[in-house]
Amino acid sequence: MFIRNQFVQNKLVLHLMEKEEYELLTTSSNQEEYLLWKRNKRNTDIVRVSLKQYDWKRELEASVQQVEKKVIQNIQLPLFQQNISFHHIFIAEYEPVDSWSDLMKRDSSVPKIDTSFVYIWSQHHEEEFSRFFQKAQLNHALTFSIPENLFELEYQTELLKHRIQQIHKNAEKEILAVFNRGKPRLSYILIAINIILFFLLEYRGGSTNPETLIQFGAKYNVGMMEGEWWRIITSMFLHIGIFHLALNMLALYFIGTLVERIYGNIRFIIIYFLAGLAGGMASFALNPSIAAGASGALFGLFGALLFFGMKNPRIFFKTMGMNVIFIVILNIIFGVFVPQVDNGAHIGGLIGGFIASGIVMLPKSKAFMQQLIAVVIFVFYVFGLLAYGLTNDEVQYNETLQIQRVQQLVEAEQYNEVTEIVTETLPYADQLEAELLFYRSFANIHLESFDQAKRDLEKAVEQKSEFEEAWYNLALLYQQEDEYNKAMHATEQLLDLDSENNSYQELFQELQRAEN
């Protein structure tokens, strides 16, 4: 009798949902078929409970394969899934005419599904539920009696259906509640601030102009080493070029509003700034270049979503899990292969955001000791990055970074500082050693240390034979010291590089007259 099978079907489904913590995935419009699943660590069990009747094994097998393929295409599975088992339970009046025993347990032909089980329950084969409970490793036994009275049977079946739908609706309401804990006001404010400051940068000299960026508070290791630590915060609101701004603001619009809805306004802004702080500190420790952007804070928001996924894996993987993980991995890989991307800030912000989420915790979560531990971890993390950055001479004495600093000092006529910085930087120089030597010689000329200036210039032209400015200054120093042969050789090198230059021609003629 069909109504009897409906009762058994709904009794089993309700048991799986209430006692075994299975989640309802889908149900057919006529409720003849339910799909449920349960994830346990790295194992996933998918259960199909169907009232469909199959007369032949081939029809049954075709249905099994079709459903498995469709389910795998339409659900998000957890990352690093170790084992997936699919259980097909058919509640039928009779079994297929031909033998179907080889379908009881088999290796699925559908990718990602490891094992497929088929069970056919009937009044003559009630032991099939026991086999299912054993294979699925269920914890609670299912006992029930089928009402004899038809009206009672129909009534109880409708009650079971209603209860199943009620549990499913409550689960959906729970998900909606998770994503409506705060209205995303602060995300929009942050977007507005970033856009306003970008146009102010453009107006004052250009968002790609290093001097303008430094003036407005970009991450600049030289300034930070001199005490300008506020740059970690200000750099979060500056962007280099319209593409950089557009990319980050799109991320803030989609990811920021999502995190703000999940965590609420106050928790969101705390995570955002703590992640930005961690990302900025990682950039200081690992990246010598001038840097700006909200990327560290944005990756911190990804970290917040991963923390949410750790605390609510069911909701996380049902709604956004694989997408978030894919985007994070893609961005990290992109950062590794694209030199201009500040991957240190990205990873530093990601870790910082994850830890910061442990500090603020999710709404309605009480875990004071865990929060205290997270605070300690965050402090050690940030100060660890700071200590590493302060002692990472290869970054802090990066030749490109120090050249920019030396140029500023030369313009300010701070020549003693120039000689000190160049001397400290030269052991770490690679491609710009000649330029550093030139600037030190320039400073020594003004400090009247002419011998040291000549030695630096001689090394500079030895390393870079086409260095005209170095040859010219060296020729003048030789002339000043009455070393006319050396001065003439230097001038000849200049004329070989640029025979049309009037200054070189005049110096050559002047040296010829002096020799005569």
The reply to whether 413-515 shares the fold of 207-395 is: no
Pairing of strands 23-27, 33-40: antiparallel
**pLDDT for 507:** 79
- In angstroms, the CA 238 to CA 272 distance is 15
- In angstroms, the CA 265 to CA 513 distance is 80
- In angstroms, the CA 51 to CA 34 distance is 9
* Closest to 20 measured CA to CA, from 42, 47, 2: 47
Angle between helices 415-425 and 433-446 (to 10 degrees): 150
DSSP string, 210-236: HHHHHHHT-B-HHHHHTT-TTHHHHGG
Please identify, in words, the CATH class of the domain defined by 207-395: mainly alpha
Q: Which of 85, 289, 295, 441 is catalytic?
A: 295
Q: Which of 346, 449, 465, 499 is catalytic?
A: 346
- Write the DSSP symbol of residue 384: H
Question: Which CA distances in Å does 350 have to 39, 181, 333?
Answer: 26, 22, 14
* Closest to 240 measured CA to CA, from 171, 286, 194, 278: 194
**pLDDT for 58:** 92
**pLDDT for 341:** 67
- In angstroms, the CA 144 to CA 311 distance is 35
**pLDDT for 290:** 87
**pLDDT for 281:** 95
In angstroms, how far apart are the furthest CA atoms of the chain?
132
Please identify, in words, the CATH class of the domain defined by 413-515: mainly alpha
Query: Which alpha helices (H) appear in 99-241, and where do they start and end?
Result: 128-135, 150-178, 185-204, 210-216, 221-225, 231-234
In the residue annotation, 346 being an active-site residue is answered as yes
Hey, where are the domains in the chain? 2-178, 207-395, 413-515
**pLDDT for 141:** 86
Query: Which residues of the chain have a pLDDT value below 50?
Result: none
- Write the DSSP symbol of residue 183: -
* Closest to 353 measured CA to CA, from 299, 434, 419: 299
